[in-house]
Structure 1
Amino acid sequence: MGLVAEFAIHCPALPLTEIAAAVPGADVVVELQYNHGRRPLFVTHVTHDDPAPVEAAFDSSEFVAEYVLVGRAGETRRYQIEPALSLAETLGDALEDLDGLRALATAEASIDRIQVTPEGWIQSGWFADRAAFDDFRAFWQAEAGFTLRRLTRDGDPEPPGEGLTDRQQEALRTAYEMGYFEIPRTASLEAVAAELDISASSLSERLRRAQTQIIETSVASTWPPLPD
């Protein structure tokens, strides 16, 4: 049986970390879209109340050749980014074993989600077996830095709240501690947003996404299907 892993790679030279650094209030999540042997496209979801600083960061990034806004839902915008550089070219000055990096491209693994931070990437995905995961972990431990956040067998149920981003966890925790979820409320949405130094609309969307994720990983998975 395969493994499901979530882990952080501590390497600021990874692509798009400069976007997360330039717009510290944004959630930046990437899916790689492989493109028939060409450099994979970076399908990038950015949640922020103002697209201007995000797109300015794209414009100034050496990694981004072109980007196109392909969709929007609330404050989340979906961009398709064409890289100007390969991953090996981007990391050439940061890593010593570039052959090892290229070998990871053929590993028996599938990375389905990448959260970009100023310090590196938080990835989650599937690995065929423990050996495939250990090869991946050993490379990043040797070349940069690696922190395992979660490792389970494929098919094991996830605890409620798994899959929340760091900013979603921070928003939920702050709102809870300030009394936003109390009945009656002892803190307003605006007060919690001010504590987090984000807009009230950004906080509202962040809380909704976090609550949806918790529902999907807890009670929703046990409900019977709705009748036709």
Structure 2
Amino acid sequence: MSLFGEFHVPAEAFALHETLRAVPDLVVEVERVVASDEILTPYFWISGVDNDAFERATASDPTVRDVRHIDDYDRSTLYCAEWTENVESLVYASTEVGVTILEASAQHDEWELRMRFTDRDGLDEFQSYCADYDIPYRLTQLFARAHPRGVGQYGLTEKQHEALVTAWEMGYFSSQTISLADVADELDITQQSLSKRLHRGHEALIGNTLAVTPPAEESSVAE
């Protein structure tokens, strides 16, 4: 049975630690990681800082190379890069023991990770690897199901589900008095992160519900 773990990891044990130190207002959210010929290429959104400042910082960051600007949305920017091989990095540990990183986000000097292990042995192997190479981490939650009930049914991640439900419960979608900032404060995240989660959540919901079955054609019979 697969196991799912949520971890807090210091930036120096994962990636972009020099960049996060150089631009402390930076927020990073990994969208996906593509593996090809043993090269890991993360696609990630950044917000909170100027693109030029981010690119200057990554130029001297030893954990990434070939950083490329892909797209812009609202106040966030999508980049891709390559993780560099580092035996004492949790990125390298995950590839060595076959762990799947499902979600990853960073702010200040810490990453929050959500990872899937094939079984308990996979978790034990990962922990042994980290112990052998003194890779620090803090396991905050371990569970056997990928999502609580209701999450994942329509392609939503836990964070997207939480953002949508919280916004709905606070009346964000039905009231002019509740702002994006109010919901972001409730979730203790930035407005940019919340905007992105809501946008992706709506996209997932539409793609997995409304777009699955076309609307019925209007009747041609006159009333």
Deviations 1:172-214 (A, max 9, x none): 86x789x663864435457778998967xx377246247538x
Q: Partner residue of 1:107?
A: 97
Could you tell me which residue of structure 2 aligns to residue 68 of structure 1?
A: 68
Counterparts of residues 92-103 of structure 1 (less than 5 Å)? none
Q: Could you tell me which residue of structure 2 aligns to residue 144 of structure 1?
A: 136
Report the Cα offset of residue 28 of structure 1. 2.8
Aligned length: 206
Q: Which residue of 2 aligns with 1:27?
A: 28
Q: Verify: 1:15 aligned to 2:20, yes or no.
A: no
Q: Which runs of 5+ in 1 are unaligned?
A: 96-100
Identity of aligned residues (%): 16
Q: Which of 186, 194, 200 lines up with 2:177 in the alignment?
A: 186
Query: In the alignment, which residue of structure 2 is the partner of 1:36?
Result: 37
Distance in 1 separating the partners of 2:149 and 2:176: 30
Aligned counterparts of 2:33 and 2:15: Cα–Cα separation in 1: 12
Q: Does 1:164 align with 2:155?
A: no
Cα distance, 1:67–1:140 mapped onto 2, change above 3 Å: same
TM-score by length of 2: 0.63
Computed over aligned residues only, the root mean square deviation of the Cα atoms, in angstroms, reads 4.5
Q: Secondary structure at the match of 2:97?
A: coil
Structure 2 unpaired stretches of 5+: 216-223
8 Å CA contact retained: 1:8, 1:120 = no
User: What is the identity, as a one-letter code, of the residue corresponding to 1:66?
Assistant: D
- In structure 1, which of residues 124, 129, 133 is the aligned counterpart of residue 123 of structure 2? 133
